[in-house]
Structure 1
């Protein structure tokens, strides 16, 4: 990471599946994506991404994200 820390991905986060242009792809789970958006100040794009994860997949946003859009 930029600050020199090591970010560790949980193995379970790599079990996501999706599609791109009709083709199946492997990806991070929605929960893994939400967890990756911690430890830094979120910009507007990050806020839109987190809102989309919550709205589409029902992901509980993490309190430490300080998400003002959290409902």
Structure 2
């Protein structure tokens, strides 16, 4: 279980280390909505690839360590860090372009996902402004697969809050 206080602790540590990150996934939806709407098993964070050593060091100082087993897909697309209490961070390195868009490498064969410049927004967790992905980007990520119950929940919250149409 990843609670709001733990999210803010991670963000404070990363900010203190000079790292830029954006919340994605379920916590990103809750940040956009401005309230906690469900329990969260992990925290998805996007970060600048050139800041990755500082990101890892800041998270290690909080007790997190990289988990190598069972991470699919793994690097370069993403990696997981976990702490002994069971909290997990799903980390996604991004290479930013001069126009503010970003690329996430998906494999070592040139595959990549592009984030448009307007994919980066802000939200609120427990009254604290936090960087996150935009509602439109969250909807984009929830296309092309069979949605789980939590995906349906998250998209319903975005529809209620922003009037966004989703396709499931």
Q: TM-score scaled by structure 1?
A: 0.71
Structure (1 or 2) with the greater strand fraction? 2
Q: Which residue of 1 aligns with 2:112?
A: 6
Q: SS in structure 1 opposite 2:158?
A: helix
1:58–1:33 Cα change, 3 Å? same
CA–CA separation in structure 2 for the residues paired with 1:10 and 1:40? 21
* Aligned-residue offset at 1:49: 0.5
Report the counterpart of residue 41 of structure 1 in structure 2.
146
Task: Tell which structure's C-alpha radius of gyration is larger.
Answer: 2
User: Which residue is 2:62 aligned to?
Assistant: none
Name the TM-score, length of structure 2 as normaliser: 0.33
User: Deviation at 1:58?
Assistant: 1.0
| Separation in 1, partners of 2:148, 2:113 | 20
Structure 1: which 5+ residue stretches go unaligned? Answer: none
What stretches of structure 2 of length at least 5 have no aligned partner? 1-71, 74-106
- Equivalent position SS for 1:7: strand
SS in 1 for 2:143: coil
The CA RMSD over aligned residues, in Å, is: 2.1
User: Alpha carbons of 1:39 and 1:7: their partners in 2 closer, same or farther (altered >3 Å)?
Assistant: farther
Cα displacement string for residues 22-57 of structure 1 (whole angstroms, at most 9, x for unaligned residues): 211111111110111112111111001011100111
